[in-house]
């Protein structure tokens, strides 16, 4: 098609710029479309089971595909790894960037200072694995002094009092303990996801706290802040579960401590105080939560009155 220009001559319309960024997976050479997938089938290992695995791969769009690993899991089940080619393309430019963390990452001394300034007492948190879940490594990574990923856990923060109830805690026990401790926040871990146990348990826990505390979240005065964490909460939002925040895989203690400050304390708790000296840089924030920083290191500043 042509268009009439204001000057009377005809010209082709400008082609819209191609802003796509098309990508595909690769295994051996860029753009070959190769992917690797693992799954289990409820059949004994053998040639017939491998044929079933290849049919599943073909139905999922892997063509051609090969079984690169098959291992019996007992007499009636087989674990497979299949390697094959997919023809699907992704326009990376159309993938929205996930939202950034909406609060700053704070160093331990900044967290402690904000709590001291805003509350004049220690912030109390109660943590547990609820239901039948016995996977305590995740909640311990956040709470225990030894921490996670080079950062110390919340027990290390001088102005945070941590009650860690451990594994297989019932909702009733958790509510009772939170009330007895006057908890400002309750931190729950859910790792087992079979039959969506993590979602059911979290909803049950949230409902119990909402029933017990009809008030809004407020440090020391209202319902405790409800925080849940675990590796498989990707498909849900906090409001689906009745909690205030969900933390996923790879969460570090400083992210949680910074969130508690953001969610529970007034914004001016973080305003710089000239008496505190220069404001910490992002690098300081990272370093001050690493395990190589010692509690009696003056840079920590977490034992000052």
Q: Which residues are catalytic?
A: 146
Q: How near is the Cβ of 226 to ligand B12 at its closest, in Å? A: 10
Ranges within 86-115 binding ligand B12 (CB under 6 A): none
- Looking at the DSSP bridge assignments, the partners of residue 95 are none
- The secondary structure element, H or E, covering residue 35 is strand 34-41
- DSSP secondary structure of 220-238: TTSBPEEEEE-TT-TT--H
Position among 121, 122, 135, 210 found at the interface with ligand B12 (CB under 6 A): 135
Is the CB of residue 218 less than 8 Å from the CB of residue 147? no
Among 231, 238, 242, 263, binds ligand B12 (CB under 6 A): 231
- Count of residues in contact with ligand B12, rule CB under 6 A: 28
Task: Pick the piece of the chain touching ligand B12 (CB under 6 A) from 56-64, 69-77, 191-199, 210-218.
Answer: 191-199
Query: Rounded to the nearest 5 degrees, what angle is found at the Cα of 223, between the Cα atoms of 210 and 264?
Result: 135
Cis peptide before 119 (omega within 30 of 0): no
Number of H helices, E strands in the chain: 8, 12
Q: Answer yes or no whether residue 133 interacts with ligand B12 by CB under 6 A.
A: yes
Q: Using CB under 6 A, pick the residue from 49, 130, 139, 165 that binds ligand B12.
A: 139
Selected from 51, 134, 218, 267, the binder of ligand B12 by CB under 6 A is 134
52 phi/psi in degrees, rounded to 5: -65, -40
Answer yes or no whether residue 142 interacts with ligand B12 by CB under 6 A.
yes
Decide if residue 227 touches ligand B12 (CB under 6 A).
yes
Report the first-to-last Cα separation within the chain, whole angstroms: 78
Handedness of CA 86, 87, 92, 96 (dihedral sign): negative
Nearest CB to ligand B12, comparing residues 147 and 301: 147
* Alpha helices, H only, 191-273: 197-212, 238-241, 253-264
**Among residues 84, 109, 224, 229, which is the contact residue for ligand B12, using CB under 6 A?**
229
230 binds ligand B12 (CB under 6 A): yes
CB of 48 to ligand B12, least distance (A): 25
∠ Cα 155 225 117 (to 5°): 60
Between 54 and 123, CB nearer to ligand B12: 123
> Does residue 191 touch ligand B12 according to CB under 6 A?
yes
Our finding on whether 184 is near ligand B12 (CB under 6 A) is no
Binding site for ligand B12 (CB under 6 A): 132-139, 141-142, 148, 187-189, 191-194, 227, 229-231, 247-251, 256
């Amino acid at each position: 098609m042509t268009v009439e220009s204001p000057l009377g001559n005809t010209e082709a319309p400008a082609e819209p710029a191609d802003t796509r960024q098309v990508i595909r997976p690769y295994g051996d050479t860029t753009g070959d479309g190769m992917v690797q997938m693992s799954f289990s089938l409820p059949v004994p290992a053998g040639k017939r089971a491998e044929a079933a695995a290849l049919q599943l791969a073909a139905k999922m769009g892997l063509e051609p595909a090969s079984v690169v690993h098959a291992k019996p899991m007992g007499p009636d089940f087989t674990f497979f790894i299949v390697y094959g080619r997919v023809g699907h393309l992704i326009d990376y430019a159309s993938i929205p960037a996930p939202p950034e963390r909406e609060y700053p990452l704070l160093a331990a001394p900044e967290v402690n200072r904000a709590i001291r300034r805003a509350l004049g007492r220690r912030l109390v948190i109660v943590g547990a694995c609820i239901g039948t879940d016995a996977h305590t490594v995740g909640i311990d990574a956040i709470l225990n002094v030894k921490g996670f990923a080079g950062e110390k856990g919340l027990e290390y923060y001088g102005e945070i009092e941590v009650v860690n109830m451990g594994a297989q805690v019932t909702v009733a026990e958790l509510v009772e303990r939170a009330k007895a401790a006057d908890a400002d926040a309750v931190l729950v871990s859910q790792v087992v996801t079979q039959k969506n146990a993590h979602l059911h348990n979290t909803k049950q826990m949230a409902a119990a706290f909402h029933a017990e505390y009809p008030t809004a979240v407020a440090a020391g005065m209202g319902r405790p802040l409800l925080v849940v964490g675990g590796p498989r909460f990707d498909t849900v939002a906090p409001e689906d579960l009745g909690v205030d925040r969900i933390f996923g895989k790879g969460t570090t203690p400083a992210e949680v401590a910074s969130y508690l400050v953001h969610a529970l304390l007034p914004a001016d708790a973080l305003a710089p105080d000239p008496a505190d000296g220069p404001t910490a840089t992002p690098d300081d924030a990272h370093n001050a939560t690493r395990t190589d920083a010692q509690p009696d290191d003056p840079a920590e500043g977490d034992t000052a009155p």
